[in-house]
């Protein structure tokens, strides 16, 4: 094998050596299975350090051109040893990364549920389009495009549109614009933080029940889920202590206000206790806070981020629940080492977020339109909650639930012997949907619960939804299912 090394070249010697050997392998000049010279001998003959040759061989190994066997040195990797069937279309199923197929299917089924047009969906966690402030949004959109359209349509910093970062920082104690990171929806925040913090086999601690999307993201990263019951206080602190001390999770994921799906809000003392326990175990807290501005009665409670004095809280929020989901504007605050990692992860995921939506939200806040809109939706959602509660009491008196002080959801307990999944199957035939409780519960509870969104629809449609739900409940009881355990065989979720 002839290798010429040019010491005057700007190209490092190991690159020159790798390149020369690569060419000879690819041209077939080194026979199939032929061995490369031992690194020591080649280094001597070229008059270079042995480590230089080792580096060149490592490059060739990483490219798949050579393979190493202990005691036999480095040999050219034989061609044509793979086993894929050639010619026909690629055998996709053998090419995919192995994933949790069951989990995948559940996601797909949920997406399909949202797609169905023929039913009243009390399922999705979406706001009410009839309340969208279209006139104000169109006015703001055209104004920002006229003012800075070319720059908005050109590109956006990875960390987000500057003026909105500044505006958001103003509302977070002790934060500057540099602590704020904008997201393509808050889902992307959970996804990026998972990428940055969670390796397969790591623990993530969550409330049970909790937001399904977060569970799915943690699981798809190979996390082991440790859970703590929500209870009446939002989280059971004794169990939290026990779980954190045993599992040392990478993230404690909580929704302290108007929790999804239970509607429960953590009290001040519980929040302080949670922070004390998390900081004692050095566990970062991911506070997901999409709903706290949607309080319909009672007193505000400070966020964990506001109570945090030690930099343990990653605070995540979104405009999807209080304004519109379609602009995909979520945001988080985090300490600078985390922001730095997120910047890289975001760059490798989708480069940067559409800045038009961010600029509209920023200007919408600036003009006072958000405050006006929040007042309007709080008023409307409170009425919708009350209408839904009345309708459920009239049409589905078998359901037990606590009236939430804010947010989107009623979390209802079914009469004994009826499971949420079974009821959903029946309800779909009556053209109404909701989400059955067990999918929110990593600890296997929740089979006797359902989540009902009261905010999405005007009161008359919500009432009709409640009527259909009541009719599904009665049909199930007439069918004599009371007390009969569900057959585990048909475990495939319908939604």
Residues 417-436 that bind a second copy (CB under 8 A): 417-419, 422
Identify which of residues 269 and 340 has a Cβ nearer to a second copy in the complex: 340
Identify which of residues 265 and 333 has a Cβ nearer to a second copy in the complex: 333
Determine if 373 is a binding residue for a second copy (CB under 8 A). no
Out of 73, 132, 293, 386, name the contact with a second copy by CB under 8 A.
132
Out of 31, 71, 485, 489, name the contact with a second copy by CB under 8 A.
485
Out of 30, 43, 212, 225, name the contact with a second copy by CB under 8 A.
225
Contacts of 449 (CB under 8 A, 6+ apart): 209, 261, 411, 412, 413, 414, 420, 436, 437, 438
Identify which of residues 289 and 448 has a Cβ nearer to a second copy in the complex: 448
CB 243 within 8 Å of CB 265: no
Asked if omega into 209 is within 30° of 0 (cis), the reply is: yes
* Other Cβ atoms within 10 Å of 81 Cβ, number: 6
Q: Residue 396 Cβ, how far from a second copy at the closest point, in Å?
A: 18
Distance CA 190, CA 286 (A): 9
Determine if 7 is a binding residue for a second copy (CB under 8 A). yes
Tell me which residues in 299-338 interact with a second copy (CB under 8 A): 310-312, 324-328, 335, 337-338
Q: Which range of residues in 172-180, 298-306, 348-356, 384-392 is near a second copy by CB under 8 A?
A: 348-356
Out of 2, 47, 69, 89, name the contact with a second copy by CB under 8 A.
89
Residues in the chain: 495
Nearest to 225 by CA among 241, 214, 239, 236: 214
Tell me which residues in 146-165 interact with a second copy (CB under 8 A): 146, 149-158
Give CA angle at 362 (358, 367), nearest 5°: 150
Site string for a second copy, 236-255 (x = CB under 8 A): --xx--xx-xxxx-x-----
Out of 44, 104, 269, 300, name the contact with a second copy by CB under 8 A.
104
Contacts of 478 (CB under 8 A, 6+ apart): none
Q: Residue 224 Cβ, how far from a second copy at the closest point, in Å?
A: 5
Q: Which range of residues in 25-33, 364-372, 375-383, 469-477 is near a second copy by CB under 8 A?
A: 25-33
Distance CA 359, CA 277 (A): 39
Determine if 288 is a binding residue for a second copy (CB under 8 A). no
Contacts of 64 (CB under 8 A, 6+ apart): 77
Q: Residue 226 Cβ, how far from a second copy at the closest point, in Å?
A: 5
Determine if 222 is a binding residue for a second copy (CB under 8 A). no
Instruction: Please state whether beta strands 435-436 and 449-453 pair in parallel, antiparallel, or not at all (unpaired).
Output: antiparallel
Determine if 227 is a binding residue for a second copy (CB under 8 A). yes
What b/e readout covers 373-390, taking b as 16+ CB neighbours within 10 angstroms? beeebbebbbebbebbbe
Which DSSP symbol is given to 400? B
Site string for a second copy, 384-413 (x = CB under 8 A): ------------------------------
Out of 39, 260, 270, 355, name the contact with a second copy by CB under 8 A.
355
Identify which of residues 310 and 394 has a Cβ nearer to a second copy in the complex: 310
Q: Which range of residues in 163-171, 349-357, 384-392, 399-407 is near a second copy by CB under 8 A?
A: 349-357
CB 76 within 8 Å of CB 90: no
What number of chain residues touch a second copy (CB under 8 A)? 140
Nearest to 185 by CA among 49, 70, 288, 45: 288
Tell me which residues in 63-82 interact with a second copy (CB under 8 A): 63-65, 77-80, 82
Q: For residue 431, count CB atoms less than 10 angstroms from its CB and return exposed for 0-12, middle for 13-18, buried for 19 or more.
A: middle
* Other Cβ atoms within 10 Å of 443 Cβ, number: 14
Out of 71, 115, 117, 299, name the contact with a second copy by CB under 8 A.
115
CB 331 within 8 Å of CB 317: yes
* Other Cβ atoms within 10 Å of 228 Cβ, number: 24
H or E, element range at 367:
none
Determine if 173 is a binding residue for a second copy (CB under 8 A). no
Tell me which residues in 463-482 interact with a second copy (CB under 8 A): none
Out of 233, 306, 386, 443, name the contact with a second copy by CB under 8 A.
443
The maximal CA–CA distance of the chain, rounded, in angstroms, is: 92
CA 51, 56, 60, 63 dihedral sign is: positive
Site string for a second copy, 184-213 (x = CB under 8 A): xx-xx--x---xxxxx---x---------x
Out of 3, 5, 54, 126, name the contact with a second copy by CB under 8 A.
126
Identify which of residues 308 and 405 has a Cβ nearer to a second copy in the complex: 308
């Amino acid at each position: 094998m002839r290798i010429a090394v040019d010491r005057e070249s700007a190209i490092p010697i190991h690159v020159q050596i790798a390149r020369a050997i690569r060419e000879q392998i690819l041209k077939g000049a080194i026979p199939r299975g032929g061995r490369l010279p031992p690194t020591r001998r080649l280094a001597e003959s070229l008059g270079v350090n042995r480590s230089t040759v080792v580096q060149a061989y490592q490059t060739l190994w990483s490219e798949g051109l050579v393979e190493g066997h202990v005691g036999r040195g480095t040999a050219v990797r034989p061609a044509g040893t793979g086993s894929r069937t050639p010619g026909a279309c690629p055998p996709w199923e053998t090419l995919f990364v192995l994933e949790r197929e069951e989990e995948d299917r559940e996601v797909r089924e949920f997406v399909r549920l949202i797609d169905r047009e023929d039913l009243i969906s009390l399922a999705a966690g979406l706001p009410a389009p009839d309340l969208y402030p279209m006139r104000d949004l169109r006015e703001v959109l055209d104004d920002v495009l006229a003012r800075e359209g070319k720059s908005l349509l050109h590109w956006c910093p990875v960390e987000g549109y500057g003026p909105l970062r500044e505006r958001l920082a103003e509302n977070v104690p002790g934060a500057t614009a540099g602590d704020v990171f904008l997201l393509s929806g808050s889902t992307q925040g959970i996804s990026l933080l998972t990428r940055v913090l969670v390796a397969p086999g790591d623990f993530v601690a969550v409330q049970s029940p909790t937001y399904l999307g977060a569970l799915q993201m943690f699981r798809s990263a190979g996390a082991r889920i440790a859970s703590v019951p929500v209870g009446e206080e939002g989280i059971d602190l004794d169990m939290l202590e026990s779980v954190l001390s045993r599992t040392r999770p990478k993230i404690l994921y909580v929704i302290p206000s108007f929790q999804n799906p239970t509607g429960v809000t953590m009290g001040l003392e519980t929040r302080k206790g949670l922070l004390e326990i998390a900081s004692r175990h050095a566990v970062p807290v991911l506070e997901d806070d999409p709903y706290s501005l949607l309080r319909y009665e009672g007193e505000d409670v400070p966020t964990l981020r506001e109570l945090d004095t030690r930099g343990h809280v990653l605070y995540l929020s979104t405009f999807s629940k209080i304004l519109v989901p379609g602009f995909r504007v979520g945001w988080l605050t985090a300490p600078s080492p985390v922001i730095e990692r997120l910047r890289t992860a975001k760059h490798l995921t989708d480069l940067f977020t559409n800045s038009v939506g961010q600029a509209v939200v920023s200007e919408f806040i600036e003009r006072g339109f958000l405050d006006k809109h929040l007042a309007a939706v709080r008023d409307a959602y409170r009425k919708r909650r009350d209408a839904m509660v009345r309708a459920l009491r009239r049409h589905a008196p078998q359901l037990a639930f606590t009236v939430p002080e804010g947010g989107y959801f009623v979390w209802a307990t079914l009469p004994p012997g009826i499971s949420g999944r079974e009821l959903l199957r029946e309800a779909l035939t009556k053209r109404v949907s909701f989400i059955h409780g067990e999918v929110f519960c990593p600890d296997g509870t929740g089979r006797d619960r359902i989540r009902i969104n009261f905010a999405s629809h005007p009161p008359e449609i919500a009432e009709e939804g409640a009527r259909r739900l009541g009719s599904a409940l009665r049909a199930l009881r007439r069918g004599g299912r009371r007390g009969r355990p569900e057959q585990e065989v048909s475990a495939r979720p319908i939604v």
